[in-house]
Amino acid sequence: MATWNSRGLRGSTLEELINRSNEQYREKGLALIQKVPTPITPVRIAKDTRQITLAYFEQKSTVDYIGAVQGIPVCFDAKECKETVFPLANIHEHQVRFMREFEQQEGISFLLIYFSGRNEFYYLTFRDLWWFWERAQNGGRKSFLYEELNPSYFLANHGGILVPYLDGIQKDLQDRD
């Protein structure tokens, strides 16, 4: 059974930025995206702070976020990467399977990657994720390099949106035609 040990603020800043962006998109009537809670069962709770310090996951999570953008079903997972090499081990097989099935139902799946060392957000299309995933499954690299990424999917900050992933969705849709 998988367990979880608290590592402080790991990933919480990225999550806060995305959650705020989701609120901004909702307020503008552009999208309705929600964080998918991961069900956990606490095992150890610090008596003085009442914080969970050890827990186990009740079930495998699918993706971090799910919702709709202008009537289009959308799901994505958010990952942080300090280096310029992204290990595919950061993505679980059941997540890739869910995203693939979501795409087969005419939804849009993607990874939102924050390259923290470069302070850059990247929209990784499911097509590209699948290509990297299949390469690894067939004995190739178990990661992908920053240099392998399509430069047009880096997200530029504009309009006050902290993580402008709708720009990535728009480009993704255009590239599907």
Q: Please say whether the beta carbons of 31 and 25 come within 8 A.
A: yes
Report how far residue 13's alpha carbon sits from residue 99's, in angstroms, rounded to the nearest whole number.
Answer: 24
62 annotated ligand-binding residue: yes
172 annotated ligand-binding residue: no
Please give the span between the terminal C-alpha atoms of the chain, in angstroms, as a whole number: 43
Give the residue carrying structure tokens 């990657």. Answer: 113
β-bridge pairing 52-57 and 3-5: antiparallel
**Quick one: how far is CA 140 from the chain centroid?**
23
Report how far residue 13's alpha carbon sits from residue 142's, in angstroms, rounded to the nearest whole number.
Answer: 27
95 annotated ligand-binding residue: yes
125 annotated ligand-binding residue: no
Which residue ranges are tagged as binding site for Mg(2+)? Answer: 62, 64, 77, 95
Which residue ranges are tagged as binding site? Answer: 62, 64, 77, 95
